[in-house]
Amino acid sequence: MHFVFEVQGGDFNKAGDASSKVKKILQQIGSDSAVVRRVAVACYEAEMNVVIHAHHAFVTLDADINQVMIVVEDEGPGIEDIEMAMTPGFSTAPDYVREMGFGAGMGLPNMKNCSSQMEITSRRGVGTTVRMVFDNA
Protein backbone atom coordinates (compact mmCIF):
# COMPACT_ATOMS: atom_id res chain seq x y z
CA MET A 1 0.00 0.00 0.00
CA HIS A 2 1.53 3.24 -1.10
CA PHE A 3 0.17 6.76 -0.72
CA VAL A 4 1.70 10.16 -1.39
CA PHE A 5 0.50 13.46 0.03
CA GLU A 6 1.80 16.94 -0.66
CA VAL A 7 2.52 19.48 2.06
CA GLN A 8 3.06 23.17 1.36
CA GLY A 9 5.49 25.12 3.51
CA GLY A 10 3.97 28.09 5.35
CA ASP A 11 0.40 26.91 4.83
CA PHE A 12 -0.86 26.78 8.41
CA ASN A 13 -4.47 26.42 7.28
CA LYS A 14 -3.85 23.08 5.65
CA ALA A 15 -1.36 21.87 8.25
CA GLY A 16 -2.52 18.54 9.62
CA ASP A 17 -4.37 17.43 6.48
CA ALA A 18 -1.78 14.84 5.47
CA SER A 19 -1.60 13.30 8.94
CA SER A 20 -5.40 13.20 9.14
CA LYS A 21 -5.51 11.27 5.88
CA VAL A 22 -2.78 8.92 7.07
CA LYS A 23 -4.71 8.34 10.28
CA LYS A 24 -7.94 7.56 8.47
CA ILE A 25 -6.22 5.11 6.10
CA LEU A 26 -4.67 3.23 9.01
CA GLN A 27 -8.03 3.10 10.78
CA GLN A 28 -9.60 1.74 7.62
CA ILE A 29 -7.08 -1.07 7.25
CA GLY A 30 -7.64 -1.93 10.89
CA SER A 31 -4.35 -0.98 12.54
CA ASP A 32 -4.34 -1.13 16.31
CA SER A 33 -5.57 2.15 17.81
CA ALA A 34 -2.31 2.69 19.71
CA VAL A 35 -0.37 2.35 16.45
CA VAL A 36 -2.74 4.72 14.67
CA ARG A 37 -2.21 7.24 17.38
CA ARG A 38 1.59 7.04 17.39
CA VAL A 39 1.77 7.34 13.60
CA ALA A 40 -0.72 10.22 13.58
CA VAL A 41 1.19 12.18 16.22
CA ALA A 42 4.60 11.59 14.60
CA CYS A 43 3.29 12.36 11.13
CA TYR A 44 1.63 15.54 12.36
CA GLU A 45 4.87 16.73 13.99
CA ALA A 46 6.78 16.03 10.79
CA GLU A 47 4.15 17.82 8.75
CA MET A 48 4.31 20.83 11.09
CA ASN A 49 8.08 20.93 10.68
CA VAL A 50 7.58 21.20 6.93
CA VAL A 51 4.99 23.93 7.32
CA ILE A 52 7.23 25.88 9.72
CA HIS A 53 10.65 25.41 8.15
CA ALA A 54 10.51 24.06 4.59
CA HIS A 55 9.15 25.15 1.20
CA HIS A 56 7.46 22.01 0.09
CA ALA A 57 7.37 18.28 0.85
CA PHE A 58 5.98 14.91 -0.07
CA VAL A 59 4.72 12.64 2.69
CA THR A 60 4.63 9.01 1.67
CA LEU A 61 2.89 6.26 3.57
CA ASP A 62 3.77 2.65 2.94
CA ALA A 63 2.09 -0.02 4.99
CA ASP A 64 1.71 -3.76 5.11
CA ILE A 65 0.52 -6.05 7.87
CA ASN A 66 3.89 -5.90 9.63
CA GLN A 67 4.93 -2.30 9.50
CA VAL A 68 4.04 1.26 8.66
CA MET A 69 6.61 3.57 7.14
CA ILE A 70 6.30 7.33 6.82
CA VAL A 71 8.83 9.24 4.74
CA VAL A 72 8.74 13.01 4.69
CA GLU A 73 10.99 14.42 2.00
CA ASP A 74 11.20 18.20 1.89
CA GLU A 75 12.80 20.92 -0.15
CA GLY A 76 14.03 23.46 2.32
CA PRO A 77 16.95 24.91 4.22
CA GLY A 78 18.01 21.58 5.73
CA ILE A 79 19.01 21.03 9.35
CA GLU A 80 22.33 22.50 10.38
CA ASP A 81 23.02 20.27 13.34
CA ILE A 82 20.80 17.19 13.55
CA GLU A 83 22.01 16.18 17.02
CA MET A 84 21.20 19.65 18.33
CA ALA A 85 17.82 19.58 16.63
CA MET A 86 17.02 16.33 18.42
CA THR A 87 17.54 17.95 21.83
CA PRO A 88 14.18 18.47 23.57
CA GLY A 89 13.38 22.16 23.75
CA PHE A 90 15.83 23.22 21.06
CA SER A 91 14.07 25.11 18.29
CA THR A 92 14.94 27.40 15.42
CA ALA A 93 11.32 28.36 14.81
CA PRO A 94 10.79 32.09 14.31
CA ASP A 95 8.89 34.13 16.88
CA TYR A 96 5.66 34.41 14.90
CA VAL A 97 5.47 30.62 14.80
CA ARG A 98 6.01 30.35 18.54
CA GLU A 99 3.27 32.89 19.11
CA MET A 100 0.96 30.48 17.30
CA GLY A 101 1.87 27.84 19.86
CA PHE A 102 4.22 25.83 17.67
CA GLY A 103 7.98 25.45 17.57
CA ALA A 104 8.48 24.39 21.18
CA GLY A 105 11.38 22.19 20.16
CA MET A 106 9.56 18.96 20.93
CA GLY A 107 8.76 17.89 17.37
CA LEU A 108 11.74 15.67 16.56
CA PRO A 109 12.05 14.13 20.06
CA ASN A 110 8.32 13.36 19.93
CA MET A 111 8.65 11.73 16.53
CA LYS A 112 11.49 9.61 17.80
CA ASN A 113 9.46 8.53 20.83
CA CYS A 114 6.47 7.57 18.72
CA SER A 115 8.34 5.58 16.08
CA SER A 116 10.36 2.42 16.54
CA GLN A 117 13.00 3.63 14.09
CA MET A 118 13.79 7.09 12.82
CA GLU A 119 16.45 8.33 10.41
CA ILE A 120 17.11 11.90 9.36
CA THR A 121 19.27 12.88 6.41
CA SER A 122 19.70 16.52 5.59
CA ARG A 123 21.65 18.65 3.16
CA ARG A 124 22.00 22.34 3.84
CA GLY A 125 20.16 24.44 1.30
CA VAL A 126 18.62 21.41 -0.35
CA GLY A 127 16.29 19.71 2.08
CA THR A 128 15.64 17.11 4.73
CA THR A 129 14.31 13.59 4.62
CA VAL A 130 12.83 11.95 7.70
CA ARG A 131 12.09 8.26 7.58
CA MET A 132 10.03 6.70 10.37
CA VAL A 133 9.13 3.07 10.85
CA PHE A 134 6.38 1.76 13.13
CA ASP A 135 5.38 -1.79 13.99
CA ASN A 136 1.91 -2.44 12.66
CA ALA A 137 0.76 -5.00 15.17
Partner 1 sequence: MLKVDNQQYFHSVHLMEDKCKGCVNCIKRCPTEAIRVRDGKAHIIEARCIDCGECVRICPNQAKIVVADTLNELNGYKYNVALPAPAIYGQLREGIDPRLVMAALLSIGFDHVVDVAFAADLVGKKIREAISAPSEIRPFISSACPAVVRLVQVRFPNLIEHILPVLSPMRAAANIARNQVAEKTSLDLKDVGVWFISPCPGKVSAINEPAGTGENTISGAIPIAEVYPLIREKINHCPEELDRIVADSKPGSGLGLGWARSGGENQSIGGSRQIAVDGIHSVIQILEDVERGKLSDIDYIEAQACVGGCVGGVLTVENSFITRRRVRILATESADRLDGVLRDKIACEALENEDWFRHDKPIEPRPTLKLDDDMATAIRKMEQMEKIVEDLPGLDCGSCGAPNCRALAEDVVRGLANEMDCIFKLREKVRQLAVEMMELAEKAPPAMGHVEKKAEIENAIGEHSAKAEPDTNK
Give the interface segment with partner 1, choosing from 38-46, 70-78, 90-98, 122-130 (CB under 8 A). 38-46
Does 100 engage in binding with partner 1 (CB under 8 A)? no
Does 40 engage in binding with partner 1 (CB under 8 A)? yes
Three-state secondary structure call for residue 34: helix
Does 25 engage in binding with partner 1 (CB under 8 A)? yes
Q: Using CA atoms, how far apart are residues 110 and 112, in angstroms rounded to an integer?
A: 5
Phi-psi region of 4 (alpha: psi -120 to 50; beta: other; left: phi over 0): beta
From candidates 14, 29, 80, 81, binder to partner 1 by CB under 8 A: 29
Map residues 50-89 to x or -, x wherever contact with partner 1 holds by CB under 8 A. Answer: -------------xxx------------------------
Does 12 engage in binding with partner 1 (CB under 8 A)? no
The DSSP line for 50-76 is HHHH-SEEEEEEEE-SSEEEEEEEEES
